[in-house]
Amino acid sequence: MRAELLKMRVLLTPRIMLALALAVPAVAALITYLVEPDDVGLYHQAPLFAAQIGVEIAAIVVGVWIVAMEFSQGTVRRLLTAEPRRTHVVANKLATAAVTILIGSALVGFVAFWLGALAAHLRDVDYDQGTAAKLAVVVAITGLLAGLLSFALGLLAESLPGGLVLAFAVLFVLDGAVSFVSSIRDYTFTSALGSISARFEPDEAAALDLGPAIAVALAWVVVLMVPGVVRFLRSDFK
């Protein structure tokens, strides 16, 4: 796991994604400050919802990147020479992805919380710290879940571009594609993330309770992770 953590520290992709995820709520908070909306709830909603979007995009890229970069670089055999126990390779990468994405998502949520508070303070309006703190937690939870799903898809695709296409499709296209099927539309991965967010935001309707929503999201991760792991363990890499 130490080698995977070192990659996260020294390579550019994770740092670029963290910078992007931080920039999105910063821009949203600045726009909120400049516009001075009549709805004071936007002072916490705008930066934190923006943070959630930025974190999900960053988590998609990092989750796929950490598991698929050796496939794209053609260095899988070198990786397996250094660590021939394939289960350890997958476990180390998964643990690294989970830890770093959770920490990064929590950091972005924390920054978005204080940016919203700063904008509200400068405009001398009330800031709903309780709801904002809950939404900051949502940023961390949904970022972690999006990262785990993307990791599973990157492993299944054994390709950085393929994993990214699959992950963005699941997170941003699949819901629309199945929205007309009422029996399953509440159980897509994105719908589960939406239910998690809604449970922490007053007056928002949620399709699922918090526990079932998290369970549905994790079920998607497991269902997609298992075939990817099996394929990785059995593949004869050239």
> How far apart are the C-alpha atoms of 126 and 119, rounded to whole Å?
10
How far apart are the two ends of the chain, measured CA to CA in Å?
Answer: 24
Mean confidence (pLDDT) of the chain: 89
Q: Looking at residues 48-61, what average pLDDT do you find? A: 95
The rounded percent of the chain whose pLDDT value lies above 90 is 61
DSSP the chain: -HHHHHHHHHSHHHHHHHHHHHHHHHHHHHHHHHH--S-TTHHHHHHHHHHHHHHHHHHHHHHHHHHHHHHHHT-HHHHHHH---HHHHHHHHHHHHHHHHHHHHHHHHHHHHHHHHHHHHHTT----HHHHHHHHHHHHHHHHHHHHHHHHHHHHHTSHHHHHHHHHHHHHTHHHHHTT-TTTGGGSHHHHHHHHHHTTSTT---SS-HHHHHHHHHHHHHHHHHHHHHHHHH----
Q: Looking at residues 40-48, what average pLDDT do you find? A: 92
Q: Looking at residues 97-103, what average pLDDT do you find? A: 95
For the chain, the domain total comes to 1
Q: Looking at residues 130-155, what average pLDDT do you find? A: 94
From the list 157, 51, 197, 103, the residue with the least C-alpha distance to 149 is: 157
Q: Looking at residues 53-60, what average pLDDT do you find? A: 95
Q: What's the pLDDT at 175?
A: 67
Q: Hey, which of 21-35, 81-95, 176-190 has the most confident mean pLDDT?
A: 21-35
Assess whether pLDDT exceeds 80 at residue 2: no
The residue with greater pLDDT, 111 or 232, is 111
Chain segment 189-231, per-residue pLDDT in tens = 888 888 888 877 766 667 788 888 999 999 999 999 999 999 8
The rounded percent of the chain whose pLDDT value lies above 70 is 95
Helix axes 86-122, 42-73, angle to 10 degrees: 150
> What are the tokens at 213?
């929503």
Query: What domain range includes position 177?
Result: 2-234
pTM of the model: 0.91
Q: What's the pLDDT at 182?
A: 67
How does residue 233 score in pLDDT terms, banded at 50, 70 and 90? confident
Region class of 199: left (phi > 0), else alpha (psi between -120 and 50), else beta:
alpha
